[in-house]
Amino acid sequence: MGFPGTWMTESESVVYRVVPKCACSTIGQIMYFSDHGEFFDGDIHDATSGMHKWALEDSQPKIEANVTTHASYAFTCVRNPYTRILSSFFDKICGIQRNGKRYRGNLVPLLIQKYGVEVGEPEDGFEFDQIKSFRRFLLFARDTIRWRRPMDPDIHWSAMSGHVSTFILNGGTYDKIFWTEKFNDGMGQVLGAIETPKQVNLDNIPRFNESEGHGPKRAHPVEDYFDDLSMHLMKEIYHRDFALFKYDFDDPSNKMPIGEIDLEEVHAKLGD
């Protein structure tokens, strides 16, 4: 199994387990900058050099050797499940991707046909009933996660705890898990704990939101998208995410964490 979704600086200063839709573009660029003193020109997900990634065959032995001996500081970053699934919907389902096409080819037509989801088009300014469509998408996301039908769950809406757990199950140990909502705090603690070839000043780092601008803007407050049934589906899919990463299930309007992440609890519960 190895360490899917794991990135490591070439200097081996730090190891990061990517969790999709949780500031991963910004974190990847900070890691790249900390080695090279410049940002990767393009989407960091497309970089095939300048950083070790599990998806690159030559990087795998280096990552495996480092992670299994806990040779470097290892971290990941999480996000409120309510805002994360909304972001996935607007980016991946409604948005036009970097290649000018819809995400995963036949996915959106399938959602339109089987679930009655509407996504709008750039030509009409993405005019559609966002709340109704999102709730139908959430039903689809639940079906993919619970029954792997009509397809396997996508990494952008599968539970964060699933991503985080593969690192632990295969012998990795996290030194830090921080929240997207307190990004500078958390990333600052990571940078403070490691030695990097190039100095990083977080105040000067732009936010690399690679998904922004490709689709419709969210037209309503977060809580408007989640009625009683939607919240029931959220609990079914993401109950571990809310519990382990200390987010408020009962109040979708509160994106901030309500407790401290207990690393021992995370390792115990996700390492079984």
- Cα distance from N-terminal residue to C-terminal residue, the chain: 15
pLDDT 10s digits, 147-184: 999 999 999 999 999 999 999 999 999 999 999 999 99
Separation of CA 71 from chain center: 25
pLDDT of residue 86: 96
Q: Which residues contact 23 (CB under 8 A, 6 or more apart)?
A: 77, 79, 180, 183, 207
Domain residue spans in the chain? 1-100+155-215+238-272
CB-CB contact of 158 with 92 (8 Å): no
Tokens 């490591």 identify what position? 8
Separation of CA 140 from chain center: 19
pLDDT of residue 210: 63
Q: Which residues contact 56 (CB under 8 A, 6 or more apart)?
A: 48
Q: Which residues contact 57 (CB under 8 A, 6 or more apart)?
A: none
pLDDT of residue 241: 98
Nearest in space to 20 (alpha carbons), one of 87, 106, 69: 87
pLDDT of residue 232: 98
Looking at every residue in the chain, the average pLDDT score rounds to 95
